[in-house]
C-alpha cells in the first residue's frame, strides 16, 4: 500500500479486516502534518520532512514514524523502514508493521 510516497506492509498473516483497520489508521496518521489537528497538535509527521528524503531526513522520518505509530496505534509497531527509489528517482519510505495484539 502506498500513501503519498510511503509504502506500508504487514509482516504477518492476520485477519483481513483487522489489517485493513490498522493500515487505514496508520495511513491516516502518515497523511497528517504535525500541528494541523487542533485538539492534538502532536499527531502527524513533521512538516520539515516533506520532499526531503535525503540521508538526514531519512533518519528523522524513521524516528518520527516509529514514535507516531507507538503513540497512536498501540496494536502495531514498526518492524523496519527501508527507503527505495521508484522508476522516476523519487525516494519512497517502505514501512513494515508488526502486529502486537489488541491493547
- What are the residue boundaries of the structural domains of the chain, listed by start? 2-99
- pLDDT attached to residue 99: 80
9 touches 96 (CB < 8 A): yes
Share above pLDDT 90 across residues of the chain, in percent, rounded to a whole number: 15
pTM exceeding 0.95 = no
Share the mean pLDDT of the chain.
Answer: 80
d(CA 73, CA 77) in angstroms, rounded, equals 8
Beta-strand pair 6-10/76-85: unpaired
Classified by CATH at the fold level, domain 2-99 comes out as: Nuclear Transport Factor 2; Chain: A, (3.10.450)
Amino acid at each position: 500500500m502506498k500513501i503519498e510516497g510511503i509504502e506500508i506492509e504487514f509482516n504477518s498473516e492476520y485477519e483481513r479486516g483487522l489489517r485493513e483497520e490498522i493500515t487505514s489508521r496508520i495511513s491516516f496518521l502518515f497523511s497528517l502534518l504535525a500541528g494541523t489537528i487542533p485538539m492534538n497538535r502532536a499527531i502527524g509527521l513533521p512538516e520539515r520532512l516533506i520532499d526531503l528524503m535525503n540521508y538526514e531526513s531519512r533518519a528523522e522520518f524513521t524516528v518520527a514514524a516509529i514514535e507516531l505509530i507507538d503513540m497512536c496505534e498501540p496494536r502495531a509497531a514498526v518492524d523496519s523502514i527501508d527507503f527505495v527509489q521508484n522508476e522516476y528517482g523519487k525516494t519512497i519510505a517502505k514501512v513494515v508493521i508488526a502486529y502486537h495484539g489488541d491493547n
